[in-house]
Structure 1
């Protein structure tokens, strides 16, 4: 049996490999990968492993992005530090999930479950996670981390998106910032154009979040939203006509 480990914490990966040697001495670890990008490339160019141990949150984003880029046909065991009660979707769509710090009993249980499955059942588990991620995407929801939970965030819950210091947040109408694993450009392509506008390099705003519009210096516009923003939202002069057309498109004729 060959296993792939996708884990960006060196100590956690080392611990998991040691446990695998203990509970399944004949198992071979094909590779240990640390990022979404590295994992996508490996899965595209290597033979399918019998099992994948996958951390949910990697250094360059959520591991769900792997399923967007490449078909993952191997059964998956998620390893995570997040609360077990938030992981029902992963429990039913994967072989198992292991809460960190991983121990031998949990790994043994996951491997025993894998051994009990027929070939067709293993293939079914291998595709379930991808379908779950696709369903989230097609449904217009984003999977986001909130403290010790993973929740879906729908576009109609987003007041604006904001980027600073190479990080991106989606702010809800409740004023809560949700960390996103996508760039502002990627979010712009995924959010409905009729409902969201790219105001400038740092902001995407929701139509129904706009409370007030003021003329700003240099023929620019300044937006005030229903919720507080980290800084003033200014629409450049060149984008003002497009913004006005977007805003008025939804007004009754």
Structure 2
């Protein structure tokens, strides 16, 4: 029996992984589905029995590598992501695939076969885990590369918007806007908030719900919205934004950092 943990914050992606795992010949047990960095750290700190982790990189509250900065790698990991970055070359070279979404069953099968190969040869697995741990350690010494301005396309070409002037990012009807201090909405080329979050400093920006990411510099006050959530007043914005119940505890903690 192969014990598997899935780190993925999108339900369709979770279902796809479950469907693919059922196509594999080996007997598997899904230990849990986790959607956030915080949940991942809490779960893995208890040292559960795991044979494999399948993990998205961008989770609900941050980057999955934050988990492995705090927790020693317990087993091989198959990473999945929508972003084509240097991690692809790093992990493919070490025997476990880095799957670029949307990936096919054939691609998943290749990753699964690599995992089985490592499982059958403990020496190979130990060497792989050591290499990935070194990669995590070196990553922690690298200064993150966050954007300070974004390109905004328009009918005449493009213009540039300073990220520090963005009150919040808004996703609606399949498009994403940057809203500035005058409440002007700038239509961006990115189509999801996940793409936006990938280049934002998480100390400065926070996703308060499924459709809004706010800038800490413009947070003026909060007020109770319901028993477990708050409404947020942003400087320059005429309306309040609602933080979801799930995100409210993390938002309040983030505001104090």
| TM tier, smaller | 0.5 to 0.7
Report how many aligned residue pairs link the two structures: 165
Contact 2:87 2:98 in 1 (8 A): no
Instruction: Tell me the equivalent position of 1:15.
Output: 16
Contact 1:75 1:123 in 2 (8 A): no
Give the Å deviation of 1:85: 6.9
Distance in 2 separating the partners of 1:39 and 1:137: 18
- TM-score between the two structures when normalised by the length of structure 1: 0.56
Q: Residue 162 and residue 92 in structure 1: after superposition, are their counterparts in 2 closer, same or farther (change >3 A)?
A: farther
- TM-score between the two structures when normalised by the length of structure 2: 0.55
- Kindly indicate whether structure 1 or structure 2 has the higher relative contact order, using CA contacts under 8 Å at least 6 residues apart: 1
Q: Residue 46 and residue 16 in structure 1: after superposition, are their counterparts in 2 closer, same or farther (change >3 A)?
A: same
Contact 1:6 1:55 in 2 (8 A): yes
**Alignment of 1:182 onto 2:210:** no
Instruction: Tell me the equivalent position of 1:128.
Output: 131
Q: Which has the larger radius of gyration?
A: 1
Distance in 2 separating the partners of 1:65 and 1:58: 10
Q: Residue 166 and residue 122 in structure 1: after superposition, are their counterparts in 2 closer, same or farther (change >3 A)?
A: farther
Distance in 2 separating the partners of 1:179 and 1:52: 25
Instruction: Tell me the equivalent position of 1:225.
Output: none
Distance in 2 separating the partners of 1:45 and 1:86: 27
Question: Of Structure 1 and Structure 2, which has the larger fraction of its residues in helix?
Answer: 1
Gaps of 5+ in 2: 148-161, 170-195, 205-215, 219-257
Gaps of 5+ in 1: 146-159, 168-176, 185-200, 204-253
Give the Å deviation of 1:181: 5.0
Distance in 1 separating the partners of 2:113 and 2:105: 12
Superposed CA RMSD in Å reads 3.3
